[in-house]
């Protein structure tokens, strides 16, 4: 496994372990909180490190395992193509744009403040990169087990996230953070390739 993918998986596991060992304080301090004036009593107001630190925390073991599976399936091939440094820049760009999207939605829609955790925004960015780098490579869904081309999988998954985010069907999931990771990854790839809207 390439070094950055391996390190990111390890850091996510360490972050989750600290959550279990040190209790709610870790989540309250390092999760992503929206920059709003009224916060829950035990929450830390928005801090500059939160748009990065939230990506190393997870809500439960299933959440962690699903994201680490995404790293294992997608990150290896993307890092091999990008190289470690560019891969790291790409991943954290997706993490930060996911955080910005989530905060904008909470502020603009005047939603109650709640902590956002998880590497999903970055993993969705990796999914987009995988689909653009290997568009015809086939991926197998878990539920249902249907093989499809990577570009088709990315398109469908993005549309599903958009619908779920707009309708609020699946509460407690940061769908717009996922979409923010996709959008941030897309524009960074377009910038690197000198394509629309940069060339």
pLDDT digits (tens, 9 = 90+) for 26-73: 999 999 999 888 777 767 789 999 999 999 999 999 999 999 999 999
178 catalytic per annotation: yes
Sequence length of the chain is 199
What's 39's DSSP letter? -
pLDDT of residue 139: 86
pLDDT of residue 172: 77
pLDDT of residue 12: 98
Who contacts 107 (Cβ-Cβ below 8 Å, separation ≥6)?
34, 35, 36
pLDDT of residue 43: 73
Q: Which of 53, 58, 175, 178 is catalytic?
A: 178
For residue 60, count CB atoms less than 10 angstroms from its CB and return exposed for 0-12, middle for 13-18, buried for 19 or more: exposed
How many other CB atoms are there within 10 angstroms of residue 145's CB atom? Answer: 7
Under 8 Å between Cβ of 102 and 113: no
4: its two tokens: 């950055």
120 catalytic per annotation: yes
pLDDT digits (tens, 9 = 90+) for 67-78: 999 999 999 999
22: its two tokens: 């040190």
pLDDT digits (tens, 9 = 90+) for 84-110: 999 999 999 999 999 999 999 988 888
Domains of the chain: 3-193 (1.20.1540.10)
pLDDT of residue 170: 67
pLDDT of residue 178: 95
Q: Which of 53, 58, 120, 175 is catalytic?
A: 120
Give the C-alpha separation, 133 to 135, whole Å: 6
pLDDT digits (tens, 9 = 90+) for 117-170: 999 999 999 999 999 999 999 987 766 688 899 999 999 989 999 999 888 766
Reported pTM? 0.94
pLDDT of residue 168: 75
């Amino acid at each position: 496994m390439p070094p950055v993918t391996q390190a990111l998986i390890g850091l996510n596991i360490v972050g989750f372990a600290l959550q279990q060992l040190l209790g709610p304080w870790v989540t309250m301090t390092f999760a992503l909180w929206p920059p709003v004036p009224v916060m829950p009593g035990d929450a830390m107001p928005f801090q500059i490190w939160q748009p990065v630190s939230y990506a190393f925390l997870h809500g439960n073991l299933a959440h962690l395992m699903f994201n680490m599976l995404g790293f294992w399936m997608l990150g290896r091939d993307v890092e091999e193509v990008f190289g470690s440094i560019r891969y790291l820049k790409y991943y954290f760009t997706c993490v930060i744009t996911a955080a910005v999207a989530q905060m904008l939605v909470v502020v603009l829609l005047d939603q109650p403040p709640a902590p956002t955790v998880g590497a999903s925004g970055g993993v969705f960015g990796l999914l987009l990169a995988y689909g653009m780098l290997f568009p015809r490579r086939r991926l197998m869904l878990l539920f249902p087990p249907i093989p499809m081309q990577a570009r088709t999988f990315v398109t469908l998954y993005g549309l599903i996230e958009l619908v779920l985010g707009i309708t609020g069907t699946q509460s407690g999931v940061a769908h717009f953070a996922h979409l923010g990771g996709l959008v941030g990854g897309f524009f960074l790839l377009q910038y690197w390739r000198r394509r629309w809207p940069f060339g």
